Chains A and B, each alone.
Chain A
Amino acid sequence: MNKEKTLKDIVGELHDGMVIGVGGWGPRRKPMALIREILRSDLKDLTLVAYGGPEAGMLCAAGKVKKLIYGFVSLDLIPIEPYFRKMREAGSVEVAELDEGLLLLGLKAAGQRLPFLPTRVGLGSDVMTYNPGFKTVKSPYDDGEVLLAMPALELDVALIHTTRADRLGNTQTDGPDPYFDELFARAAKKTYVTTELLVDRLDKDYSDKAKSSLFERYLVSGVSETPLGAHPTTSHDAYGWDMKHLQTYAASAAEEGGWQKFFDEYLAGDEKSYLERVGGEAGIRALPIPTF
């Protein structure tokens, strides 16, 4: 069994109109190498589901997104993702703005193969107004409480960046927070993983790190070795986010034709040329892990 694939192989298995979930959280541990490969492809009409960071803004900027389902879209120190803001203020993409916890519950329902999960989250807020498809459900017990039935968010694929993986599809993820990668993987028909380091068997050399595995290998359909593949987002414990590069990216949103210029300058080539243009391996590995 060998699940190793190239970025091109993985993107070749994606189709127009798919519902794609992306792991990570804002500018943290995003599978950016895979996102860049999608940006170089002719995929379109995607529905994107994410705790969004630069991947959401870039895919919107490139016209790949038909619908964006998000808990937020932020670059943290740049609180509102610049192309997300632009897209919203132009009203150019259909959106479903969810409470962060509702996104979690929707993924959880999909992973459990349930139609919905009941919750109080969202009631009384405009989440109900602007997601007109949401329905409530009445508790069948004596309390009779009326709750939101948060519908399952079923994904065609999940894209997730990890620290280490093996060719069998086992993964390990360092860093203080697993975010909700597990739920994205469980909600998806197929999960494709990018990784800083790919080995034949994690049990041989990283047996002591087994607890850092976030989900089962039966969920994983393909693995691609992409060292520094989360740049410009943080990948614990290897490198921090590249705020300078994200500022350059953000500034491009204010320019006429800025996205095309940014794409041509940084993204149009392959991963090797991308990494050279953004400071090279030494430069990226020197980016400090941010503290708060």
Chain B
Amino acid sequence: MTAAKDFTLAELIVVAAAEAWRHDGELLAVGIGPLPRLGVSLAKLTFAPGLMLTDGEAMAVEDPVPLGPRGDYQPRYSGWMPYGRVFDSVWSGRRHAMVTPVQVDRFAQGNISALGPFEKPKVQMLGVRGFPGNSINHKNSMFLPNHSKRTFIEGEVDVVASVGFSPKRWQDGMDRSKIEIGMIVTDLCVFDFNGPDHAAQVLSLHPGITFEQVQAATGFPLLQAASMNTTAAPTEEQLAIIRRLDPHNIRATVLKGNPPGIRTAA
């Protein structure tokens, strides 16, 4: 296991994202978007063999399906996972997704629905889709490719699609115990909402990034976890797996300018 010297930020993020699923055991694991999907695939192939993956449509697979045009690659199916069963997995809690909200607030609430007033949005986005049901039933992690005050906002998100810890959103008798926020992976750091009273706390800073930089790009206060360190560099073994899972190098198109994994101060 030799740490690589030459890797991109996207590859660092894939390796960091994989950690989100490390202790999940056996459940339906979903990474939405190229980097989370590579992350969950890497986790499955290295340290989390119990994870169940799909082909992105309705079939379960044991070997993660590589990204993009498949060429001669033919997925082999181990089971059936139509949307009906996805909802059953969601509602039973046996799923962990990594998703990309457009806005996230200090309560870990996420918005993919719309920007501006709901009745007549300034920007219509996807709608809430499955976020309300996912977030109240099973663990969700997040990947945000552009860590800024526009994404991690100061107030509450415009539309609460995925639920969180805002007290005014909940009444007595509602069960919030199944809400679980996993890891938040960004282009600057990894954090979670496991500080006191679900406060956001930084777990690791990507190489070359300071805590002050991250705080300045975040609309709400961040804590430093006691164990805060530098996000681990990919190993050569991990990079080889990532290249095999992403033969068309789609990962290079996710972050603007495809920056290197180790950034030096400007």
Q: Do A and B bind each other?
A: yes
Chain A positions 33-83 with a Cβ under 8 Å from a chain B Cβ: 70-74, 79-80
Give the residues in chain B near A73, CB-CB below 8 Å: 127
Q: Does A15 belong to the interface (CB within 8 Å)?
A: no
Q: Does A261 belong to the interface (CB within 8 Å)?
A: no
Choose one: A97, A144, A176; the contact of B59 (CB below 8 Å): A176
Q: Is the CB of B136 within 8 A of A120?
A: yes
Choose one: B57, B82, B175; the contact of A292 (CB below 8 Å): B57
A178 to B86, CA, bound (A): 13
Q: Is the CB of A130 within 8 A of B171?
A: no
Q: Closest residue of chain A to B73, judged by CB?
A: A291
Q: Is the CB of B58 within 8 A of A101?
A: no
Q: Does A133 belong to the interface (CB within 8 Å)?
A: no
A interface residues, tally (CB under 8 Å)? 45
Give the residues in chain A near B124, CB-CB below 8 Å: 80, 84-85, 88-89
Interface string of B57-75 (1 = CB under 8 A from A): 1110000010000100000
Whether A125 touches B123, Cβ cut-off 8 Å, given contacts A136-B171, A179-B83, is no
Q: Does A177 belong to the interface (CB within 8 Å)?
A: yes
Q: Does A104 belong to the interface (CB within 8 Å)?
A: yes
Q: Is the CB of B83 within 8 A of A25?
A: yes
Choose one: B90, B119, B174; the contact of A124 (CB below 8 Å): B174
Interface contacts (Cβ under 8 Å), in number, total: 140
A147 to B175, CA, bound (A): 8
Q: Is the CB of A122 within 8 A of B159?
A: no
Q: Closest residue of chain B to A73, judged by CB?
A: B127
Choose one: A71, A127, A138, A180; the contact of B84 (CB below 8 Å): A180
Q: Is the CB of A97 within 8 A of B84?
A: no
Choose one: B126, B128, B172, B173; the contact of A127 (CB below 8 Å): B128
Q: Does B56 belong to the interface (CB within 8 Å)?
A: yes
Q: Is the CB of A124 within 8 A of B170?
A: yes
Chain A positions 255-275 with a Cβ under 8 Å from a chain B Cβ: none
Which candidate, B161-169, B185-193, B198-206, is the interface stretch facing chain A? Answer: B161-169
A136 to B83, CA, bound (A): 26
Q: Which of A79, A84, A101, A178 has the most CB of B within 10 A?
A: A101
Whether A101 touches B126, Cβ cut-off 8 Å, given contacts A25-B83, A88-B114, A178-B82, is no
Choose one: A72, A74, A102, A120; the contact of B178 (CB below 8 Å): A120
Give the residues in chain B near A70, CB-CB below 8 Å: 127
State the A residues within 8 Å of B (CB): 25, 70-74, 79-80, 84-85, 88-91, 97-102, 104, 119-127, 129-130, 136, 138, 144-147, 176-180, 291-292
Q: Is the CB of A126 within 8 A of B120?
A: no
Choose one: B123, B127, B129, B173; the contact of A146 (CB below 8 Å): B173
Q: Does B219 belong to the interface (CB within 8 Å)?
A: no
Q: Is the CB of B173 within 8 A of A97?
A: no
Minimum Cβ distance to chain A for residue B161 (Å): 6
Give the residues in chain B near A71, CB-CB below 8 Å: 127, 129-130
Give the residues in chain A near B159, CB-CB below 8 Å: 126, 130
Q: Is the CB of B173 within 8 A of A138?
A: yes
Q: Is the CB of B163 within 8 A of A123?
A: yes
Give the residues in chain A near B136, CB-CB below 8 Å: 120-121, 123-125
Q: Is the CB of A97 within 8 A of B127?
A: yes
Q: Does B55 belong to the interface (CB within 8 Å)?
A: yes
Q: Which of B113, B121, B125, B133 has the most CB of A within 10 A?
A: B133
Minimum Cβ distance to chain B for residue A177 (Å): 4
Q: Is the CB of B126 within 8 A of A72?
A: yes
Q: Is the CB of B133 within 8 A of A99?
A: yes
Whether A125 touches B58, Cβ cut-off 8 Å, given contacts A70-B127, A88-B121, A89-B120, is no
Q: Closest residue of chain B to A25, judged by CB?
A: B83
Can you list 17 A-B pairs, Cβ within 8 angstroms, ordered by A? A74-B126, A79-B126, A89-B123, A100-B129, A100-B130, A101-B133, A102-B132, A123-B132, A123-B170, A125-B160, A125-B169, A145-B174, A177-B82, A178-B84, A291-B56, A291-B57, A292-B65
Minimum Cβ distance to chain A for residue B162 (Å): 7
Minimum Cβ distance to chain A for residue B138 (Å): 11
Q: Does B176 belong to the interface (CB within 8 Å)?
A: yes
Minimum Cβ distance to chain B for residue A94 (Å): 10
